[in-house]
């Protein structure tokens, strides 16, 4: 069982659709992350929120729009996606971002498996 | 960009054999974390190493961090079928602000 909950688990959408991925954690973590993972590849960082503020955007195309409504929730709004955006989208959280040796482990959700038609 | 190299890419072992995966960086690492991802699952945190030369054990798993903080290894003794999955190292560079994942090692165990 994971303490980071992601919905939906699966999503199929057309290239003109707008949809949102949701992530929720109730561990009191103050850092939240979005990753994209292709098959047999490592997770690729997309966005980092720290204390509800966007702190890292890894040059992600604007068709992906993150939102952090509060410290427990993280959304990823999708619009006009391309077939190559099909992947597993993972949300993660950590106590905070820490520095140096004080980095915290990241807790991942089960992910949303996204298919773009 | 900043990279963490991980080898081997795949490892098939007979149940009961040992397994090791290695991670290496050309730059000093602030710390290193290890994650396991079962087929169809999500990455699960295993351990974090911070100090130069650190060694930590979890039952049959032994984790090491190199003296120069540029390399790390995960060794599994007497593998079991429950060990199957992909093992990722992930690290923060010394002055970095994001977790960089290695490519992962896929472990298959034949019973």
Closest residue in chain A to residue B99, using alpha carbons only? A45
CA distance A54 to chain B (A): 13
Chain B residue numbers touching A111 (CB-CB < 8 A): 42
Q: Contact B99/A103, CB-based, under 8 Å?
A: yes
CB atoms within 10 A of CB A105: 18
pLDDT tops 60 at residue A1 = no
Chain A residue numbers touching B88 (CB-CB < 8 A): 42-43
What pLDDT score does A2 carry?
A: 66
What pLDDT score does B93 carry?
A: 82
Task: Please give the helix or strand (H or E) that residue A5 lies within, else none.
Answer: strand A4-7
For B17-27, how does the pLDDT look when each residue is reduced to its tens digit (9 = 90+)?
999 999 999 99
- B88-103 mean pLDDT: 90
For A35-91, how does the pLDDT look when each residue is reduced to its tens digit (9 = 90+)?
999 999 999 999 999 999 999 999 999 999 999 999 999 999 999 999 999 999 999
Interface mutation target, options B33, B42, B65, chain A, most CBs of A under 10 Å:
B42
pLDDT tops 80 at residue A101 = no
- B68-92 mean pLDDT: 97
Chain A residue numbers touching B42 (CB-CB < 8 A): 2, 90, 108-111
What pLDDT score does A86 carry?
A: 98
Chain B residue numbers touching A97 (CB-CB < 8 A): 97
What pLDDT score does B95 carry?
A: 78
For A7-46, how does the pLDDT look when each residue is reduced to its tens digit (9 = 90+)?
999 999 999 999 999 999 999 999 999 999 999 999 999 9
Half-sphere exposure of A61 (CA within 13 A, CB side): 9
Please, which pLDDT band fits residue A96 given cuts at 50, 70 and 90?
confident
Task: Please give the helix or strand (H or E) that residue A7 lies within, else none.
Answer: strand A4-7
What pLDDT score does A103 carry?
A: 86
Distance CA B12, CA B21 (A): 12
For B40-53, how does the pLDDT look when each residue is reduced to its tens digit (9 = 90+)?
999 999 999 999 99
Please, which pLDDT band fits residue A115 given cuts at 50, 70 and 90?
very high
Q: Contact B101/A42, CB-based, under 8 Å?
A: yes
Half-sphere exposure of A21 (CA within 13 A, CB side): 30
CA distance B78 to chain A (A): 25
CA-wise closest residue to A45 among A105, A89, A101, A95? A89
What pLDDT score does B36 carry?
A: 98
Q: Contact B42/A56, CB-based, under 8 Å?
A: no
Kindly list the distances between the CA atom of residue A29 and the CA atoms of A21, A66, A101, A108, B41, in Å, as whole numbers in the listed order: 19, 17, 18, 12, 22
């Amino acid at each position: 069982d994971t303490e980071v909950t992601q919905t939906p688990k699966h999503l199929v959408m057309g290239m003109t659709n707008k949809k949102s991925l949701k992530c929720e954690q109730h561990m009191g973590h103050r850092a939240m992350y979005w990753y994209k993972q292709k098959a047999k590849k490592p997770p690729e960082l997309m966005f980092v929120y720290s204390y509800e503020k966007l702190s890292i955007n890894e040059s992600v195309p604007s068709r992906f729009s993150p939102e952090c409504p509060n410290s427990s929730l993280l959304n990823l709004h999708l619009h006009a996606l391309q077939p190559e955006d099909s992947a597993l989208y993972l949300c993660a959280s950590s106590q905070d971002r820490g520095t140096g040796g004080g980095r915290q482990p990241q807790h991942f959700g089960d992910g949303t498996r996204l298919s773009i038609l | 960009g900043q990279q963490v190299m991980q080898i081997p890419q795949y490892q098939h072992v007979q149940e009961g054999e040992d397994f090791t995966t290695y991670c290496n960086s050309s730059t000093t690492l602030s710390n290193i974390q290890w994650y396991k991802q079962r087929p169809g699952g999500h990455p699960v945190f295993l351990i974090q190493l911070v100090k130069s030369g650190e060694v930590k054990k979890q039952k049959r798993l032994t984790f090491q961090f190199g003296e120069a903080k540029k390399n790390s290894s995960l060794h599994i003794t007497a593998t079991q079928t429950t060990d199957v999955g992909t093992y990722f190292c992930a690290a923060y560079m010394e002055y970095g602000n994001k977790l960089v994942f290695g490519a992962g090692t896929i472990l298959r165990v034949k019973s």
